Amino acid sequence: MGFRASRALALLGGFLALAFVSFAMAVRFGEQPISLTAALGEPASSDAVIFWSLRLPRALLAAIVGAGLAASGTTLQGLLRNPLADPFVLGVSGGAALGATVAIAVGLGTVGEVAPGLDGALTRLSAPALFAFLGAGASILFVLSASRGAARTPYAALLTGVVFNSFASAAITLIKTLSEPNRLGEILYWLVGSLGYERGGTLVLSALLQAGALAAMWALSGRLNLLSLGDDDASSLGVPVAATRRWLLLVSSVSVAGAVALTGLIGFVGLIVPHLLRLVFGPDQRLLVPLSALGGAAFLLLSDLLARLAYPLFNQDLPVGVVTALLGGPLFLVLLRRRVRLSTV
C-alpha cells in the first residue's frame, strides 16, 4: 500500500472516530442528564425513554443531514471552482423554503390533512417536509432545464439558481406578510433551521437517500478532479464533461433537498466544513467527499449539542441553525482573512 493510500485511510479513520465521539456525546449529554447504563438496561426508565425517543433519533438526523450538506457543499465548490459556494447556491433552498412556507401558512400539519384518503404511516408524515421536498425537486428540475443549453459551463446553473432563490425569497416575504401572527413564528422557526425527532421510517429513508447521493458524488469525484483542469483538458482525457456536470448538479441537489426538507435551512455546514478541509488537505475530491461527510456530521452533532445545553440560559430550545451561524460566521471570516493574506504573500 502506497503512502498516499495509507494517509487517506488514516485520515478517514480519524474523521470516523471524530464523528463517532460526536455522536456519543450528542446522545449522552443534553439539557436533561441521563445514565446510559439505565437507558440501555432498564427499558421502562425515564432515561431509556429520553435516549430512545429523543436523543437517538435527533442525533441520527443530525449526522445524516450534516453529512449530506457538507458532501454536497464540497462537490459544488469543486464543480463551480469556487471555494465559497455552498449547498444552497443552486436554488434548492429557495424551492424548499417556499414549499414549506406555503404548507405552514395554510395550516397543514401532516400528509393526512393534504390527502385524507391515504392510510398508514404515510399520513403521519410532516406536510411542511413533504412540500419542502416537492418544492426543492421542482427547483432542481427548473434550474437544470433552464441551464440545459449551457451544460458545458456550470455558471448557467449557478445564475439560474441565484435568480430562482431571489424569486422564492420575494414570494416567501409576501406569504409572511399575509400570514396570521401565530403562523409567522412557525415559518421563521423553520426557515432558520432546526432538528426534530423523526420516526424510524423517515430516518431510514433519509439515510438511504443520502447514502445513494454520497456514493454517486464519490464515484464521480475522480472526474471532478479532471474537470478542475479545464473542460478541454478533461474532455481530452476521456471525461464526458456535460454529462458529468449534469449528474453532479443533480445528485448534490437531491442530497440538499433531502436534508432541507427535514430540517429547514441550516447554514454554514456545507460552506465551512468543505472550505476548511480543502485548505488543510488539498483539493482532491476523492478524499474531500468522504472527509466532508464525516466532518459535517460531527459539526452538526456538536452544534446541536450546544443548542440543547444552552436550554437553561434561554429557557427554550435554540434552533441549531442559529448555533451553526454563530460558530460558522466568525470561523469563515478567519479562514477568509487567512486565505487573502496567503494570496498576497
Q: Give the whole-number percent of the chain exceeding pLDDT 70.
A: 91
Determine the pLDDT at residue 224: 94
* Other CB atoms within 10 Å distance of the CB of residue 29: 14
Q: Quote the CA–CA distance of 133 and 143 in Å, as a whole number.
A: 15
Cell of 75: 462537490
Examine the pLDDT at 156 and tell me if it is beyond 60.
Answer: yes
Give all strands (DSSP E) within the chain, no chain letters: none
Per domain, the residue ranges of the chain are 3-343
Residue position matching grid coordinates 404511516: 121
Average confidence (pLDDT) over 18-45: 87
* Tens digit of each residue's pLDDT (9 = 90 or more) over 238-282: 899 888 988 998 999 999 999 999 999 999 999 999 989 998 898
Kindly indicate the confidence band of residue 340, based on its pLDDT and cuts at 50, 70 and 90. low
pLDDT, averaged across the chain: 87
- Contact assessment for residue 261 and residue 231, using Cβ atoms and an 8 Å cutoff: no
Q: Quote the CA–CA distance of 167 and 103 in Å, as a whole number.
A: 18
Q: Quote the CA–CA distance of 141 and 290 in Å, as a whole number.
A: 27
* Tens digit of each residue's pLDDT (9 = 90 or more) over 218-241: 999 999 999 988 888 888 988 998
Determine the pLDDT at residue 119: 56
Examine the pLDDT at 107 and tell me if it is beyond 90.
Answer: no
Q: Quote the CA–CA distance of 345 and 343 in Å, as a whole number.
A: 6
* Tens digit of each residue's pLDDT (9 = 90 or more) over 162-184: 889 999 999 999 999 988 888 88
Determine the pLDDT at residue 15: 96
Predicted structure pTM score: 0.91
Residues 6+ apart with CB under 8 A from 256: 68, 69, 72, 87, 88, 90, 92, 93, 136, 270
Would you state the torsion angle of the CA atoms of residues 234, 240, 243, 247, taken in this order, to the nearest 10 degrees? Answer: -60
Average confidence (pLDDT) over 187-213: 91
Give all strands (DSSP E) within 43-178, no chain letters: none
Arch. (CATH architecture) of 3-343: Orthogonal Bundle (1.10)
Residues 6+ apart with CB under 8 A from 151: 242, 245, 246
Determine the pLDDT at residue 121: 56
Tell me the residue type at 343. Answer: S
Determine the pLDDT at residue 111: 63
